Each structure stands twice: as C-alpha cells, then as structure tokens.
C-alpha cells in the first residue's frame, strides 16, 4: 500500500467529496501508522477556529499534554491559517468569515528518520458574511514534533 506524506493525506481529507470519503482516507492513514483527526470549523473569529482545532487534536489523542506537542500543534495550525488567509490573520476585523473542513495528521515522513512531524490542513471558503459572497480557500502547515 502506498504511503503518502502526511501533508498530502491531510489535504486529501479536507478535499473529500463527503464524510464517507473523508473517513476512508483517515482509516487508511491510521493503518499506515499516522495519528489523525478531522472536523469542521466556521467563525468570524480566528481565535475560535484555532481553539476548536487545538481542542479536537488534544481530545482525539493526535497530540498529548506536553509542551512540545502543544507548541508544534500551534505552529502547524497557525501556518495553515496563514496560508488559508494568505498572510493576513484577521477575519471579522476585515469583515470576512471562514468555514472549512480541517484535518490534522501526525507521524513519520517516509525516508526521513524516526522523528515525527505534524500537518494541519484546511479547505473551505472565506469571504463576506453574506451567503454566496465567499469563495474557496485552502491552507497547509507542517512542522517537526
């Protein structure tokens, strides 16, 4: 079975056409030894987005309670949001809202030794808080853990 790198797995999970495909990708990743969690977030307040993803990553066991796990998770999520928002980490403050599926994947990179890495991916929409005025966006953050 082909083992994709963790960022690609995380992105494919967020791009899944439905929850069934999303779960299938997660299941294959877990079989390959990755730790995985996924879900949906939506807010005009980036603090809520980050907090929700961090909480789900902790509850699902993708990260533990240690300071390095927390720091790596924060960096991965922060960089993912920075990519999704193309460098400007402001939502409501510039009158826009974000809705997306996210995925966190943690594990070794094939051929890169025993260290683990963590990837955070988001795919969804960003835009004015009026139905139909948002458009697609995506982000990926990755760091050693």
The contact set with a second copy (CB under 8 A) reads 2, 4-8, 11-12, 15, 17, 45-47, 50-51, 54, 66-68, 70-72, 74-75, 78-79, 81-84, 86-90, 92-96, 109, 112-113, 115, 117, 119, 121, 123, 127-128, 130, 132-133, 135-145
DSSP state of 33: T
Among residues 61 and 88, whose Cβ is nearest to a second copy? 88
* Residue 11: both structure tokens together: 């992105």
* Residue 142: both structure tokens together: 């990755």
Distance CA 79, CA 139 (A): 8
Q: Nearest CA to 99 among 46, 58, 62, 145? A: 46
Among residues 40 and 71, whose Cβ is nearest to a second copy? 71
Nearest approach in angstroms of CB 111 to a second copy is 8
């Amino acid at each position: 079975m082909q083992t994709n790198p963790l960022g690609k797995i995380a992105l494919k999970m967020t791009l899944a056409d439905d929850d069934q495909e999303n779960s299938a990708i997660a299941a294959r990743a877990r079989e390959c030894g990755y730790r995985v969690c996924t879900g949906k977030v939506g807010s005009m307040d980036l603090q809520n987005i980050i907090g929700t993803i961090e909480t789900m990553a902790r509850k699902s066991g993708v990260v533990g309670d240690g300071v390095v796990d927390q720091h790596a998770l924060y960096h991965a999520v922060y960089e993912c949001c920075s990519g999704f928002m193309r460098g400007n980490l402001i939502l409501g403050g510039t009158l826009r809202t974000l809705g997306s599926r996210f995925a966190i994947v943690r594990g070794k990179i094939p051929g890169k030794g025993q260290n683990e890495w963590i990837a955070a991916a988001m795919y969804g929409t960003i835009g004015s808080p009026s139905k139909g005025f948002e458009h697609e966006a995506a982000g990926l953050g990755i760091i050693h853990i």
